[in-house]
Amino acid sequence: MTIETTRRDLMKSAAMAAVVAAAGCGKGQAPPRPDLTAADQEWVKSVCRFCGTGCGVQLGLHEGRLVALRGDPDHPTTKGLVCAKSLFLPKIIYSKDRLTTPQIRRNGQLTDATWDEAMDLVADRFTTAIRDHGANSVAYYGSGQAFSEESYLANRLFKGGIGTNNVEGNPRLCMASAVGGYVSTFGKDEPMGCYEDIAHASVFFLVGSNTAECHPVIFDQILMAKQANSNVKVIILDPRKTPVRSVADLYLSPIPGYDLAIFHAMAQVIIEENLHDAEFVEAKTTFMKVGDSGPEKVDFAGYKKFLEDFTPDKAAVISGVPAADIVAAARIFAVGPTVSFWTMGLNQRKRGVWANNLMHNLHLLTGNIGKPGATPFSLTGQPNACGGVRDTGSLSHILPYGRVVKKEEHRRQMEELWGSPPGTIQPKPGLNTIEMFRALGRDEVQAMLILTTNPGHSLPNVTPYREAMGKERPNKPFIVVLDAYPTRTTELADVVLPAAMWSEKEGIFGMSERRYQILPKVVEPRGEARPDFDILLDFAKRLEDREVVPQGYISSRFETPEDIWNEMREASRDTPYDFTGMERARLHKERGLRWPCPEASHPGTARRFVKGEDPLLDSGPFADDTLAAGEVSFYARPDKRAVIWLRPALGPAEPTDAEYPYILSTGRVLEHWHTGTMTRKAEELERAHPEAFIEIHPQDAGTLGVSNGDRVRITSRRGEATIKARITDRPRVGMTFVPFHWQEEDSLINRVTIDAYDPGSKQPEFKICAVKLAKA
């Protein structure tokens, strides 16, 4: 803990010194150092651009430029805390390589163009594809980093205007299994608890979550809770000894991909030792399994019988975790109140939905839910995967605010609100992310718009998908990319449109605890860059003019993000997400509001499904006057009962074998974020981690004859990378770990990862694939 805390402190100190210089970045000369205490210094509240924690920040403005960032002490949940990456944002937006001019590929090279040239070309190519090959020949690939209004607008245009459900986004790669888990257990998506639960918890169960590096402000709050109360316990379940292990009271290190047996074994202990909440289980839950003809109900006795195959001793054989540790974890968890946090270690798995279900099972069995300090909580990796993609329905199978494309009534509701001709929204889900890019490679998708994301770097088994986007061939699909920086995806594009960056446009982020927050525009975009919202409006109008979208479908209704926001509020009315009370003016004034928030006077909801806290239980279609104060009702399910699932404990898609004997897992480090497009622009962050590395256990390094600093060739059935070795006992024996931030050819680790995906959530298994290693 001391080492990791020191890393954070050093980064923050460097940032304080560096962001002042941001005022002159890109001008080719050192700027005068502004006096940040001067009377003309202006501070404006906003939100961090990075992970889904949603930290409140204050932006320092000086002479029309963004020069500093600090934590917002008045923010109700993050209370002035920020991570090191956030402090460098003012410097990052003034990076010298910002995209500032539209570009069109001519004779194989991207060359500058006017906006009209670029937009006409984009509209013409999409129009040709739609007319010649039908609506499903085009696709949209968005991002959990786009503003909510941008994602909603794109979703509306493609599903209700063009008439295709080929609408996807990078949250499919990170959060889809969490969605599947919440929906299949509770009826609707998103956590029911909030960050305030951290202060009330007596137990933290951290599973597959490197909270210290990926959500450092959450980790800081866990540290504060533990320091304030010496009785607080932390259980860690992770095959890699991430920095969070430093606070663990109990550490469980499973064989990667074989932890489902541990969750079942914990449930078996909880029931065997009578640690479950029998009254809650009887009144508020139902048991289900998937049979030959679909979901089937099971009684409590049937569930107990199922768990006989998962005693701690049996689970120990499957998972590699000692039986005594499984028993200890179950006992600590059951005492509670318990907050569970997890992220990619569970979600990016072939069995990701099932893993999420089993986390929820533990909370339901013990009644550790709907009370202060008791909640299952999936942390989010992007700032707007929740509010911007999951909630707005901007994936191929869903529609806004809990609706699904398969349900006729849901399609009818959205067609009426959107003004789409009846039958425009197709009843069949579109292509999920992996299948969309496979279809691109088969030239079945003829035109794709990619917004604020970098699939040429971030997709698993990325080589064939890079070829699908960039390889020259007859009838090559047309690729247009909206971004603020050059990436491994813009290099493949036919048209690149320069997008305004965070702080150069206004919009809303929705973060992990259901809090919607507005980010104001405080500076002008660089060069000719435009907000993504404006680019989408322009695109829609040109499609209307070409008569592939009904005339006026977008252009007659919307001019500003607020126009879209007001329709979004209406779309949420009388749904479990109801935020009709979040008027734009309120969000400008307040530091975010948590939904449900159905009235302008409502303060927002800390805990869903709880009588006396959730306003939807007091009035509207989900009201229930039979409930006592504090009682839980899972009203998003028809029977108002949450599901405890009986799931098989199956392993990964690609287990190790004699030819590929090592497991590769990927992830992040403290100083960088995702594909490094932003963080690598700050030289202080780049110096902290200037190149990729592979963590190898000392025992494996000895077998391989590899030392610290040696370059190691990592080979899978799909591709290879060559990366410098870091010998450490962080990964368990037989496991390796590589962060995925680096774009250099030898370091592009997603050439190695596997694109097998969860059959329910369609989320790929980034966390586990089989590789062989050799000293390069």
Q: What is the pLDDT of residue 387?
A: 96
Mean pLDDT for 501-524 is 98
Could you give the strand order of the β-sheet that contains 338-342, starting from the edge strand earlier in sequence? 250-252, 233-237, 203-207, 338-342, 375-378
**pLDDT band of 35, cuts 50, 70, 90:** low
**Does residue 288 have an active-site annotation?**
no
Q: What is the pLDDT of residue 650?
A: 96
Q: What is the pLDDT of residue 727?
A: 98
Residue 23 pLDDT > 70: no
- The catalytic residue among 85, 188, 241, 772 is 85
Mean pLDDT for 651-655 is 97
Q: What is the pLDDT of residue 2?
A: 41
**pLDDT band of 65, cuts 50, 70, 90:** very high
Which pLDDT tens digit goes with each residue over 347-405?
999 999 999 999 999 999 999 999 999 999 999 999 999 999 999 999 999 999 999 99
Residue 15 pLDDT > 50: no
Tokens of 772: 């062989």
- What's 386's DSSP letter? I
Residues 6+ apart with CB under 8 A from 656: 662, 663, 734, 770
Q: How far apart are CA 418 and CA 405, in angstroms?
A: 15
Tokens of 590: 């307040």
Counting residues of the chain whose pLDDT is more than 90, the rounded percentage is 94
Length of the chain, in residues:
776
**Is 332 in contact with 236 (CB distance < 8 Å)?**
no
Which pLDDT tens digit goes with each residue over 466-506?
999 999 899 899 999 999 999 999 999 999 999 999 999 99
Mean pLDDT for 531-557 is 98
Mean pLDDT of the chain: 94
Residue 1 pLDDT > 90: no
Q: The tokens 């989320």 sit on which residue?
A: 763
Q: The tokens 């889904």 sit on which residue?
A: 52
**Is 695 in contact with 728 (CB distance < 8 Å)?**
yes
Which pLDDT tens digit goes with each residue over 71-112?
999 999 999 999 999 999 999 999 999 999 999 999 999 999
Mean pLDDT for 516-532 is 98
Q: What is the pLDDT of residue 39?
A: 57
Residue 337: which region, alpha, beta or left (left: phi > 0; alpha: psi -120 to 50)? beta
- The catalytic residue among 11, 25, 83, 175 is 175
Dihedral pair phi/psi, residue 430, rounded to 5°: -75, -170
Q: How far apart are CA 48 and CA 773, in angstroms?
A: 38
Residues 6+ apart with CB under 8 A from 494: 104, 105, 125, 478, 479, 480
- The catalytic residue among 83, 174, 386, 597 is 174
**Is 539 in contact with 66 (CB distance < 8 Å)?**
no
Residue 7 pLDDT > 90: no
Mean pLDDT for 425-451 is 98
Q: What is the pLDDT of residue 38?
A: 55
Q: What is the pLDDT of residue 37?
A: 57
**pLDDT band of 345, cuts 50, 70, 90:** very high
Which pLDDT tens digit goes with each residue over 709-763?
999 999 999 999 999 999 999 999 999 999 999 999 999 999 999 999 999 999 9
**Does residue 382 have an active-site annotation?**
yes
Q: How far apart are CA 183 and CA 289, in angstroms?
A: 15
Tokens of 697: 């256990």
**Does residue 446 have an active-site annotation?**
no
Residue 103: which region, alpha, beta or left (left: phi > 0; alpha: psi -120 to 50)? beta
Dihedral of CA atoms 573, 577, 578, 582 in degrees, nearest 10, equals -120
Which pLDDT tens digit goes with each residue over 136-183?
999 999 999 999 999 999 999 999 999 999 999 999 999 999 999 999
- The catalytic residue among 160, 180, 367, 381 is 381
Residue 14 pLDDT > 80: no
Residues 6+ apart with CB under 8 A from 165: 158, 159, 396, 397, 405, 425, 426, 428, 429, 430
For the entire predicted model, the pTM comes to 0.95
Cross-strand pairs, 339: 204, 375
Residues 6+ apart with CB under 8 A from 259: 207, 208, 237, 319, 355
Give the CA distances from residue 169 to residues 54, 151, 332, 448, in Å, rounded to whole numbers and listed in that order.
Answer: 20, 9, 38, 12
Burial 278-292 (b: 16+ CB within 10 A, else e): eebbeebbbbbeeee
Q: What is the pLDDT of residue 147?
A: 98
**Does residue 85 have an active-site annotation?**
yes
Dihedral of CA atoms 94, 97, 99, 102 in degrees, nearest 10, equals 140
What is the DSSP secondary-structure string of 283-306? HHEEEEEEETTEEEEE-HHHHHHH
Give the CA distances from residue 163 to residues 125, 160, 403, 558, in Å, rounded to whole numbers and listed in that order.
Answer: 17, 5, 17, 19
Angle, alpha carbons 59-171-399 (nearest 5°): 105
Q: What is the pLDDT of residue 367?
A: 98
Q: How far apart are CA 568 and CA 754, in angstroms?
A: 36
Q: What is the pLDDT of residue 9?
A: 53
Residues 6+ apart with CB under 8 A from 658: none
Residue 571 pLDDT > 50: yes
